[in-house]
Structure 1
Amino acid sequence: MAAMSLDDKLVVAISSRALFDFEEENRVFESGDADGYMRLQLQRLDVPAAPGIAFSLVKKLLAFNDASAQRVEVVVLSRNDPVSGMRVFRSAKANDIQLQRGVFTQGRSPFGYLRPLKATLFLSANEDDVRGALAAGFPAARVLTESVLAHDNYPNEVRIAFDGDAVLFSDEAEQVFQARGLEAFQEHELSKATQPLPGGPFKPLLAALHRLQNAGNARMRIRTALVTARSAPAHERAIRTLMDWKIDVDEAMFLGGLPKGEFLREFEPDFFFDDQTRHVAHAALHVPAGHVAAGIANVLN
């Protein structure tokens, strides 16, 4: 048998709590009763778990696979025990999620396995695992399990929204803002408007989505949005940076500090990524959201 490879695929590594609603079971685990948690999962082995916060994103991305090409791979990467892993696989089958691979570490941090998986994205409800993944150079976000679920108004469109600074872009400009305030930030960005920003932790994911879109699929498409607190004149550098990368976003919202949640509710993303906890918490009232613990804002917190 020829060796399998995940090369040239968009690989989503995801924890079981990000993919499915295991919050009731997790409360048993968090109480310190690991054996009780395993017993509960075993008792519910034939009860499919309900969709979790990142379920819609995963299911739609997998719809880019067809008979001609397998472009997306989803792998469960979980602190669960192998017994609980059986329920994850059964829940995936019951929910029509094509899931072939999983790594279950029974309490140990699993993010080290991202490298052999060549993961494009890591989604987990565990903040320590997400921080470790980001430090290792992988796009990663802590899924807010209290988020609302994605709507189903766009079944043939993967909708993903990104913050700019410290997510798609480096936090170079954010550092100026934190140190010297809004006026200095605006002046800094205006003076460097033609100089592209360095890439942030989620640039590789945006690039991978761009490749996936261009690979072609008659049934599915990707719609992306940049949703940022930037306003004019600092908008120009963001746009020019994307032009320099030769990556398009479908929508750009320069909100000048307005709350993002209501705008995101109109866009209806399958997932939204932001580095600032207050923005993510507000967004989670309206859409599935994840916290990217990167950049100066998370050093200060």
Structure 2
Amino acid sequence: MGASLDGRLVVAISSRALFDFEEENRVFETGDDRAYMRLQLERLDVPAPPGVAFSLVRKLLAFNTEGRPRVEVVILSRNDPASGLRVFRSARHYGLAIERGAFTRGASPWRYLKPLRAHLFLSTDESDVRSALAAGVPAARVLPEAAHASAAHPDEVRIAFDGDAVLFSDEAEQVFQRDGLVAFQAHEAQRAATPLPAGPFKPLLEALHRLQQDPDAPLRVRTALVTARSAPAHERAVRTLIDWQIGVDEALFLGGLPKGEFLREFEPDFFFDDQTGHVQSAAAHVPAGHVAAGVANAG
């Protein structure tokens, strides 16, 4: 029987999201891929510094125990295969058990997400993220300049999500964008008992929920809904999660307040939001990614 990833939470990640390759990337962006390859090979034995999503990946891989592979992390990179050597060596240096990867030398690697059945794709390339989302894969553009995760919770993976256009569809967000806050509040109050359609990140929340339910898992999972909603629109969001039979550990209904300082207190290993303003606010304090989905990202 061949190898299988069935039953695992599968995370695909670009090399720049996992490691800090910003200096090398500046060479790559000159268009001289030979110089970039040469630089990476010269640094083959120099471990790359941790990147924005490093903490998330390290903690998720720690869920794997002898005979119980719960999480699979796969590198999907626009790097050339030779440069990929440094990625794997850096992973080995930090004790990250990453065995699989695809290196496409400038071509978009997102097309390999489907055969991987990935629950999450993290990349610094917006076009790859948009393509992944269009294909139905939860994906976010990692901000390389974002703060790194706190080390305060070594035994807990903490992940925070926005609601509309992330966990939920952008149905209500469309009303807000078109008709304003009062109409949005009325729309949601009238439909409080009607669950929202699923958004692009529901599959990731479901996969995390399965990890939460594993009594033998060596780490815990703590999730948070961090949304600009406020009462009375909060009720529909809560009822939707109840309908899905998936809970979150914390729910912050901020009524439009900047999210960054609240996320600083929650200390997630990663935060996902569809609004660039919220992502920028968060990135000053925590690892953050932009979900290019919904009406706010149309065009």
TM-score, normalized by length of structure 1? 0.98
Offset, 1:113: 0.3
SS in structure 2 of the partner of residue 129 of structure 1:
helix
SS in structure 2 of the partner of residue 215 of structure 1:
coil
Rounded to whole Å, the distance in 2 between the matches of 1:219 and 1:8 is: 17
Offset, 1:216: 2.7
Q: Aligned partner of 1:164: which letter?
A: G
Partner of 1:277: 276
Rounded to whole Å, the distance in 1 between the matches of 2:77 and 2:137 is: 16
SS in structure 1 of the partner of residue 271 of structure 2:
strand
Partner of 2:225: 226
Rounded to whole Å, the distance in 2 between the matches of 1:168 and 1:194 is: 17
Is 1:165–1:171's contact at 8 Å kept on the other side of the alignment?
A: yes
Partner of 1:217: 216
Partner of 1:88: 87
Partner of 2:56: 57
Partner of 1:190: 189
Partner of 1:137: 136
Is 2:211–2:217's contact at 8 Å kept on the other side of the alignment?
A: no
Asked if 1:290 is matched to 2:286, the reply is: no
Rounded to whole Å, the distance in 2 between the matches of 1:194 and 1:146 is: 40
Asked if 1:176 is matched to 2:165, the reply is: no
Matches within 5 A, 1:61-140: 61-140=60-139
Rounded to whole Å, the distance in 1 between the matches of 2:256 and 2:204 is: 25
Asked if 1:166 is matched to 2:165, the reply is: yes
Structure 2: runs of 5 or more not aligned: none
Rounded to whole Å, the distance in 2 between the matches of 1:292 and 1:203 is: 13
Is 1:76–1:101's contact at 8 Å kept on the other side of the alignment?
A: yes
Rounded to whole Å, the distance in 2 between the matches of 1:167 and 1:14 is: 19
Rounded to whole Å, the distance in 1 between the matches of 2:46 and 2:128 is: 28
Partner of 1:21: 20
Offset, 1:217: 3.2
Offset, 1:160: 0.2
Offset, 1:218: 4.8
Rounded to whole Å, the distance in 2 between the matches of 1:66 and 1:95 is: 17
| Count of aligned pairs between the two proteins | 299
Rounded to whole Å, the distance in 1 between the matches of 2:144 and 2:275 is: 17
Is 1:140–1:292's contact at 8 Å kept on the other side of the alignment?
A: yes
Partner of 1:32: 31
Rounded to whole Å, the distance in 1 between the matches of 2:214 and 2:84 is: 33
Offset, 1:263: 0.1
SS in structure 1 of the partner of residue 118 of structure 2:
coil
Is 2:274–2:294's contact at 8 Å kept on the other side of the alignment?
A: yes
1:143-200 deviation digits (Å, cap 9, x = unpaired): 0000011010000000000000000000000000000000000000000000000000
1:224-250 deviation digits (Å, cap 9, x = unpaired): 000000000000000000000000100
Rounded to whole Å, the distance in 2 between the matches of 1:200 and 1:219 is: 29
Is 1:259–1:279's contact at 8 Å kept on the other side of the alignment?
A: yes
Is 1:64–1:217's contact at 8 Å kept on the other side of the alignment?
A: no
1:75-109 deviation digits (Å, cap 9, x = unpaired): 00000000010000000000110010000000000
Spell out structure 1 runs of 4+ moving beyond 6 A.
none
SS in structure 1 of the partner of residue 213 of structure 2:
helix
Partner of 1:260: 259
Q: Aligned partner of 1:297: which letter?
A: A
Is 1:63–1:220's contact at 8 Å kept on the other side of the alignment?
A: yes
Rounded to whole Å, the distance in 2 between the matches of 1:164 and 1:37 is: 39
Rounded to whole Å, the distance in 2 between the matches of 1:203 and 1:33 is: 40
Matches within 5 A, 1:246-257: 246-257=245-256
Is 2:79–2:105's contact at 8 Å kept on the other side of the alignment?
A: yes
Rounded to whole Å, the distance in 2 between the matches of 1:297 and 1:155 is: 35
Is 2:279–2:288's contact at 8 Å kept on the other side of the alignment?
A: yes
SS in structure 1 of the partner of residue 57 of structure 2:
helix
Rounded to whole Å, the distance in 1 between the matches of 2:216 and 2:208 is: 13
Structure 1: runs of 5 or more not aligned: none
SS in structure 2 of the partner of residue 103 of structure 1:
strand
Offset, 1:219: 2.6
Is 2:8–2:72's contact at 8 Å kept on the other side of the alignment?
A: yes
Is 1:78–1:105's contact at 8 Å kept on the other side of the alignment?
A: yes
